């Protein structure tokens, strides 16, 4: 293992040679917190540098999510540089060894190409995994909680921008029909929204049409639609200097991490076009709220209260932004950092209910 120290955190690099040769990177954004949370993804990165950048950006995003949700934990991310088709028991055991070597500083679970059934297997080798299939039957899927958080943020954004108290008749275009995107589509359809959806995966599109009444559009048409809301729920960086000029929507709120390709440039462009952008680390905090509760003693009513508060958090950020000349991203990040500092100064402890992972 190679440790690279950052300003507040650290990046751990692992090289596995047997039974399958692959590399893994675990980024912990702030080591001052005793525990950090974040998913682990398996992805065929073009280079180790790209994987490193992804891990560090995502761990920072997870820290911001935790802070905006007022959770006394840090953010982290695990990335495994490998084609997911090679995933097997020995592969997962090797990664579990990497996670276990950090001795509980990093709790992790499902993400891209990492499923609840994979977590079942990982728990056989290390207690520091969350979101196993048996846990989800008890606590619910993180994806569902994330979707509910996006709905909470969307209601708040619609109220602030469009002065509407409900979502009925709203036109919403969802990019990405994976777990979160599909659950979001279901909630919006039930609320009376006109839902548009797109995904590069044909199977996901077919599955979505079986479960939700929506209009499917091409991946390159998503940002051009004459809708009220754009909801990025796939990869990051899709809000950029090429897509922003094409947008007709007045609100952007979704679950994808790092939606803005360039935070400073793109936040400014959205503001100039009078488009309300909900920072992704606020809107998508439902998942980390749900997973954190698994560590501390799960209380569903408390989880739902925290998820409902996502809308209040956004309302507060929008209000603060109107009083300053800063972008909504800057205001939200400042608020997150203020909470993190208070949590550390107060010495907030995390009453981990089960250190063996058998939640």
Active site residues: 77
The answer to whether 206 and 262 have CB atoms below 8 angstroms apart is no
Give the separation between CA 195 and CA 157, rounded to whole angstroms: 17
Residue with tokens 């709790």: 107
Residue written as tokens 């891990």?
A: 55
Query: Which residues, in sequence order, are bridge partners of residue 26?
Result: 12, 78
**Of the candidates 23, 50, 55, which has an alpha carbon nearest to the alpha carbon of residue 40?**
55
The set of residues, in sequence order, having a beta carbon less than 8 Å from that of 108 and lying 6+ positions away, is 37, 38, 39, 40, 76, 78, 99, 128, 129, 130
| Tokens, residue 71 | 């959770």
The token pair that represents 314 in the structure block:
């956004």
Cis peptide bond N-terminal to 19, omega within 30 = yes
Q: Roughly what angle, to the nearest 10 degrees, separates helices 286-296 and 48-68?
A: 70
| Backbone torsion region of residue 67, taken as left when φ is above 0, otherwise alpha when ψ lies between -120 and 50, otherwise beta | alpha
CA gap 170, 227 in Å, rounded = 8
């Amino acid at each position: 293992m190679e440790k690279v120290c950052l300003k507040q955190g650290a990046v751990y690099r692992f090289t596995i040679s047997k039974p399958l040769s692959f590399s893994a990177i675990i980024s912990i954004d702030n080591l001052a917190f005793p525990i950090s949370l974040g998913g682990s993804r398996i992805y065929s990165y073009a280079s180790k540098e790209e994987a490193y950048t992804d891990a560090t950006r995502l761990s920072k995003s997870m820290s911001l999510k935790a802070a905006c949700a007022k959770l006394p934990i840090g953010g982290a991310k695990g990335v495994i540089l490998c084609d997911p088709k090679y995933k097997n028991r020995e592969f997962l055991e090797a990664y579990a060894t990497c996670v276990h070597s950090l001795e509980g500083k990093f709790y992790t679970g499902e993400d891209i190409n990492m499923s609840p059934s994979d977590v079942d297997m990982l728990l056989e080798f290390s207690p520091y995994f969350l979101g196993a299939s048996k846990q989800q039957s008890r606590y619910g899927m993180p994806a569902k909680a994330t979707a509910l958080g996006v709905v909470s943020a969307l209601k708040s954004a619609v109220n602030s921008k469009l002065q509407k108290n409900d979502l009925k008749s709203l036109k919403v275009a969802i990019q990405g029909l994976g777990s979160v995107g599909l659950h979001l589509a279901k909630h919006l359809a039930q609320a009376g929204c006109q839902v548009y959806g797109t995904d590069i995966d044909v199977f996901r599109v077919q599955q979505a049409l079986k479960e939700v009444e929506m209009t499917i559009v091409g991946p390159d048409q998503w940002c051009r639609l004459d809708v009220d809301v754009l909801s990025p729920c796939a990869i990051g960086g899709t809000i950029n200097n090429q897509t922003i000029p094409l947008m007709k929507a007045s609100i952007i709120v979704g679950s994808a991490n790092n939606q803005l390709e360039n935070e400073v440039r793109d936040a400014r462009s959205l503001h100039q076009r009078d488009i309300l952008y909900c920072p992704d680390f606020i809107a998508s905090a439902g998942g980390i709220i749900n997973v954190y509760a698994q560590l501390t003693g799960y209380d569903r009513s408390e989880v739902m209260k925290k998820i409902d508060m996502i809308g209040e958090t956004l309302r507060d950020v929008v209000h603060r932004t109107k009083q300053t000349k800063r972008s909504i991203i800057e205001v939200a990040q400042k608020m997150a950092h203020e909470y993190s500092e208070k949590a550390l100064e107060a010495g907030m402890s995390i009453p981990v209910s089960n250190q063996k992972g058998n939640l």
